[in-house]
Every structure is written in structure tokens, then in C-alpha cells.
């Protein structure tokens, strides 16, 4: 059995996460069904490609982004629910030049 | 099924292949080695004789030269190698006599030095040695060995969102199955522990190993920052990782360490260090660059490698079969010719993790028993050495 057809879907790996990973492309305005550790739905506010992350909670600038229940970086801008979360609004906490 | 058909190697673990290996000690002797390989293949058939495409071996010193030498010797000592032919130019940094002597302690090894014999005689000597060793090797038959005799390398390359969600956890389950059966697994790619080392280190068997894991990651990160003098965020995650949806090295690492499953971490190995008799799950210090990482683990003794990929890669290794796994349905389709196990049904919920792990474990044993991987069929005999010093 697959997840079914006709809705954008995203997987939440850990209940602590504030992002979900899209299993299908999502179009702006489209409802995204959440599967995995959190069930529910969010609305994509912009086009987001499959494999990329969508915010499932608001993430204020300077606060941590969680995936796998762990910190994957820090928000460099205020991120609203349904926004694309990627290199344009998240920075790594590691690997900076001295 | 918990057994495989391998080749007896005396006191060492069994081989899953029975290769005759040509080992050029320097890139200057690589050309002649390539020619000898082609001529030998005309006589004995393809795939019997393998070549380490070594691009280093001269203008090197100190720990860097030692590491190159160790990688060459230990790759030849991998149980998949029946015999080795060391091909030296004669004036390189690598000590070809030492390389040959160290290999000869464990298996047949001969040295051919181009400057001593002359070009044509050296070429013919390599070819005839290869032919003779293949004839010897072909007299050996496979026999049954327990899974506990396997050392499996765990690698990921060209990662995307599917790697951390499906293929790495899947390989982690297979790693646990191997370790539970008394076998060994090695994970590597230390830069891809950055941001996830605290989770992995919790599984260390004792405080000493725990601090070795943390120190391995810390010192590698410091070395990269000091040497490159730039953010390594341009390289980790790679541009392809970012296009595939991975945002930061922490995110990549958290997905990458899932390849290691849940087994206790028994110790930390240096680059290309032989595992020897040790059992259980180990971390080897290698860079994230697939070719050098896989080469380190094969030199360490891995007879087989489980390799997950999101975006797809044709890579293999000269000495060890590399089983490639993807959970990305597009990659499974577009690059099906290079993928050995399609885990995409797990991503879309059509297949459970348990079932897929059993299938992958069975494939591992079939490959260990002689089934060719896609990379072997394609002749992807990759090899690379992790350099840690300048070229003079």
C-alpha cells in the first residue's frame, strides 16, 4: 500500500521536529499531509520541491531548526508555517572558517 | 541463510573474491601496469586480474608517505586478493621492497622494477606473473563460511533526502544483523559525523572509545578549517546534496550515521588500518570523499561494501564488491544500471523496513558468495588514497 494519491505529503521524522521533508512536490497554496511522527496538515505558502523541507511550526530568526529530533542549524530569518526551509534561511552551526 | 561461500585465507578472514592484484607503487609505473592488465586480460579473461590505479607514491614524506604505503600494502592484504604483483619504477618515494615484503608475509607477492628490467621485459614479466597467479588462484574452490567472518564497509555517497530517511537506516539494520551474527562493520567519513557525533558516541563500549570518537571528529573538523582556511560549507554538504534538499552538514551527518545501526561502537581505526581479528562495529577516520573512504575501509579489511546513494553513482572498488542501494525512485529508474538494490518501495510505504533489510542481507550474502555487483559488471575498479601532506 502506498500513501495514496492526490495530496502533497511530507514526513516528520521526530515529534520534536519543526520541519517536515516533502515526499512529493508541493505547490503554493496546496495542503500538505503530514505523515510519520506527527499527523496533520500544513499549507505550503510557496512551491517547494520533493526532498526539501517545509516548516510545520513558526521558527523565529535565531532559533534552532530541528529534524531527526536534533538541531540541524539556526534560522537566519523568521520562518512561518508552510515556508520552504533551506540554505536561504538556515545556517549551519558548524564548519565556519576561523 | 547465514553463511556464504568464500575463499580460505589461512589465519586471515576468508576472501569473497580471488583476485590477482597489480599494485603500482607510483603513478609512473601505472601506465605499464595498465598495459600489462590489458594483455593479461586477453589471455586469462576480464575480471581475474585487478589493478590499483594509484596516482601517488612520489614527492611524498613523513606521515603522508607512510599512509600511502600503508594503503597500498593493506589493500593487497585484503582477503579478496589471492596474490599481488608490485610494480615499481625504481626511484619513487614509496619503498617497493618493503611493500612487497609486507604483502609476502601473508600471500604470494612479486616485485617488478621497471628501471632494473627495462620497459618491455618488465611489461612481459608483469603479464606472465599475472597469468601464473590466475592459474594458481583458479585451483582454489569456494567453501562455506559463517557471516561472522565478514567485514562490511558502510558508505554513503551523493546523499539526498531519501538517504537519511530510508537507505541509511536500512543499511544500519543490516549492519546490526551482521554484528549480531558475530561479524564486523566499519563506518567512515568522519566529516559526516559533524553535528551527530554526540549521538554516535553514546554507543561507545567505554569512556575511552567515546572520547576517541569525539576527538576524531573534533580534530578532523579543526584540520579542515585550518587547511582550507574557508568555510567547508561549500563542500559539505556538496552542491548536489543541497539540490537534493540537504541544508546543513548537521542534517547530512544525522542521516549519515544511521548507516551504523544501533550496535555498540567498539573502537576507532586510523585510515587504512587493518581491523585484524577485532569483531563488532568500528569507526575509521576517512574523509567524506567516497573513493578515498571506501578505499580506506577495503584496506582495513572490508571484503564487501554497502553503499547508499540518493542521487546515484556508478562507483565500485578494484578489490571489493560494492553493493549500491538507493531509495530515490527517480534514481532507481534513471540510474538502474548502477543500482544493486532498489529501496524506493520503502520510501513510499509499499514495503516495510524489516522485509527490505532481510532482502538486502540476503543480497549481501549472495554477493559474498560470488554474485557480481553492478559496479563489477561495469568494471568500476575505483581506488583512491587519502593524502595528508603536500607533494614536494
Q: Tell me how crowded residue A33 is: count the other CB atoms within 10 A of its CB.
A: 18
Q: Which tens digit of pLDDT belongs to each residue from A42-93?
A: 999 999 999 999 999 999 999 999 999 999 999 999 999 999 999 999 999 9
Grouping H, G, I as helix, E, B as strand and the rest as coil, residue B50 is strand
- Give the C-alpha separation, A71 to B39, whole Å: 55
Chain A CB within 8 Å of residue B22 CB: no
The candidate with the shortest Cα–Cα distance to B75, out of B350, B296, B335, is B296
Q: Which tens digit of pLDDT belongs to each residue from B281-300?
A: 999 999 999 999 999 999 99
Q: How far is CA B83 from CA B132, B138, B320, B335, in A?
A: 10, 12, 15, 34
Q: Work out the average pLDDT over B108-121.
A: 98
Average model confidence (pLDDT) for chain B? 96
- Give the C-alpha separation, A54 to A32, whole Å: 9
- Give, in degrees to the nearest 5, the angle at Cα B254 between B174 and B271: 70
Chain A CB within 8 Å of residue B214 CB: no
pLDDT of residue B104: 98
Q: How far is B238 from chain A (nearest CA, A)?
A: 12
Q: Which of A2, A53, A96 sits opposite B231 (nearest CB)?
A: A96
Give the cell for residue B92.
Answer: 619513487
Q: A97 pLDDT exceeds 60? A: no
Sort out which chain A residues have CB atoms less than 8 A from B195's CB and list them: 70-72, 92-94
Q: Which of A2, A70, A90 sits opposite B254 (nearest CB)?
A: A70
**Cβ distance of B233 and A11 shorter than 8 Å:** no
Q: Work out the average pLDDT over B261-272.
A: 98
- Give the C-alpha separation, B319 to B21, whole Å: 8
Q: Which tens digit of pLDDT belongs to each residue from B138-197?
A: 999 999 999 999 999 999 999 999 999 999 999 999 999 999 999 999 999 999 999 899
Q: Interhelix angle for B353-368 vs B168-180, to 10°? A: 60
Nearest CA in chain A to B166: A13
Grouping H, G, I as helix, E, B as strand and the rest as coil, residue B151 is strand
Q: Which tens digit of pLDDT belongs to each residue from B41-90?
A: 999 988 899 999 999 999 999 999 999 999 999 999 999 999 999 999 99
Q: Which tens digit of pLDDT belongs to each residue from B329-380?
A: 999 999 999 999 999 999 988 999 999 999 999 999 999 999 999 999 999 9
Instruction: Strands of chain B (E only): list them.
Output: 3-6, 19-24, 49-51, 81-88, 109-113, 143-146, 151-157, 184-187, 265-269, 280-284, 304-309, 322-326, 341-342
Give the cell for residue B53.
Answer: 590505479
Structure-model confidence comparison of residues A53 and A98, the more confident one: A53
Q: Work out the average pLDDT over B186-213.
A: 96
The candidate with the shortest Cα–Cα distance to B72, out of B295, B261, B365, is B295
Give the cell for residue A80.
Answer: 512561518
Q: Can you give the pTM of this predicted structure?
A: 0.94
Sort out which chain B residues have CB atoms less than 8 A from A90's CB and list them: 247-248
What's the per-residue H, E or C state across chain A?
A: CCCCCCCEEEEECCCCCCEEEECCCECCCCEEEEEECCCEEEECCCCECCCCEEECCCECCCCEEEECCEEEEEECCCECCCCEECCCCEECCCCCCC
The candidate with the shortest Cα–Cα distance to B287, out of B356, B224, B218, is B224
Q: Which of B199, B224, B233 sits opposite A92 (nearest CB)?
A: B233
Q: How many helices (H) and strands (E) does chain B have?
A: 16, 13
Q: Tell me how crowded residue B330 is: count the other CB atoms within 10 A of its CB.
A: 16
b/e sequence B124-136, b meaning 16+ C-beta within 10 Å = ebbbebbbbbbee
pLDDT of residue A1: 35
Amino acid at each position: 500500500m502506498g500513501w495514496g494519491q492526490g495530496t502533497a505529503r511530507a514526513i516528520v521524522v521526530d515529534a520534536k521536529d519543526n520541519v517536515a521533508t516533502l515526499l512529493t512536490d508541493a505547490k503554493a497554496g496546496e495542503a500538505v499531509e503530514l505523515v510519520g511522527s506527527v499527523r496533520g496538515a500544513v499549507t505550503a505558502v510557496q512551491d517547494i520541491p520533493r526532498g526539501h523541507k517545509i516548516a510545520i511550526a513558526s521558527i523565529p530568526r535565531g532559533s534552532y531548526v530541528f529534524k531527526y529530533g536534533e538541531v540541524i542549524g539556526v534560522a537566519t530569518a523568521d520562518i512561518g508555517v508552510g515556508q520552504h526551509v533551506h540554505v536561504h534561511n538556515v545556517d549551519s552551526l558548524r564548519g565556519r572558517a576561523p | 541463510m547465514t553463511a556464504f561461500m568464500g575463499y580460505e585465507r589461512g589465519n586471515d578472514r576468508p576472501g569473497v573474491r580471488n583476485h590477482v592484484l597489480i599494485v603500482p607503487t607510483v603513478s609512473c609505473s601505472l601506465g605499464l601496469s595498465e598495459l600489462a592488465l590489458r594483455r593479461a586480460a586477453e589471455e586469462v579473461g576480464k575480471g581475474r586480474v585487478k589493478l590499483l590505479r594509484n596516482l601517488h607514491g612520489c614527492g611524498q614524506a613523513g606521515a603522508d608517505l607512510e599512509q600511502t604505503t600503508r594503503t597500498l600494502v593493506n589493500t593487497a592484504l585484503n582477503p579478496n586478493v589471492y596474490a599481488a604483483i608490485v610494480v615499481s619504477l625504481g626511484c619513487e618515494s614509496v619503498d617497493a621492497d618493503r611493500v612487497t615484503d609486507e604483502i609476502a608475509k601473508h600471500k604470494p607477492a612479486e616485485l617488478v622494477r621497471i628501471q632494473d628490467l627495462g620497459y618491455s621485459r618488465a611489461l612481459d614479466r608483469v603479464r606472465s606473473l599475472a597469468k601464473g597467479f590466475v592459474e594458481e588462484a583458479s585451483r582454489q574452490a569456494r567453501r562455506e563460511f559463517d557471516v561472522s567472518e565478514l567485514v562490511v564497509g558502510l558508505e554513503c555517497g551523493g546523499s539526498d533526502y531519501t538517504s537519511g530517511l530510508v537507505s541509511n537506516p536500512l543499511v544500519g539494520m543490516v549492519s546490526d544483523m551482521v554484528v549480531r551474527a558475530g561479524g564486523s562493520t566499519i563506518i567512515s567519513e568522519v566529516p559526516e559525523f559533524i553535528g551527530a557525533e554526540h549521538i554516535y558516541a553514546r554507543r561507545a563500549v567505554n569512556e575511552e572509545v567515546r572520547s576517541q570518537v569525539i576527538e576524531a571528529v573534533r580534530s578532523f573538523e579543526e584540520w579542515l578549517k585550518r587547511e582550507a582556511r574557508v568555510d567547508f560549507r561549500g563542500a559539505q554538504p556538496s552542491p548536489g546534496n543541497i539540490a537534493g534538499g540537504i541544508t546543513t552538514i548537521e542534517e547530512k551527518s544525522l542521516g549519515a550515521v544511521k548507516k551504523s545501526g544501533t550496535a555498540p561502537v567498539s573502537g576507532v581505526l586510523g585510515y587504512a588500518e587493518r581491523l585484524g581479528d577485532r569483531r563488532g562495529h568500528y569507526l575509521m577516520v576517512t574523509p567524506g570523499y567516497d573513493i578515498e573512504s571506501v578505499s580506506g575501509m577495503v584496506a582495513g579489511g572490508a571484503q564487501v561494501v554497502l553503499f547508499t546513494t540518493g542521487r546515484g553513482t556508478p562507483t565500485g572498488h578494484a578489490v571489493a564488491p560494492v553493493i549500491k542501494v538507493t531509495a530515490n525512485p527517480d534514481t532507481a529508474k534513471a540510474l538502474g544500471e548502477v543500482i544493486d538494490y532498489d529501496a524506493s518501495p520503502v520510501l513510499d510505504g509499499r514495503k516495510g523496513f524489516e522485509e527490505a533489510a532481510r532482502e538486502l542481507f540476503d543480497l549481501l550474502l549472495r554477493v559474498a558468495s560470488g554474485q557480481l555487483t553492478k559496479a563489477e559488471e561495469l568494471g568500476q575498479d575505483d581506488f583512491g588514497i587519502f593524502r595528508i601532506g603536500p607533494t614536494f
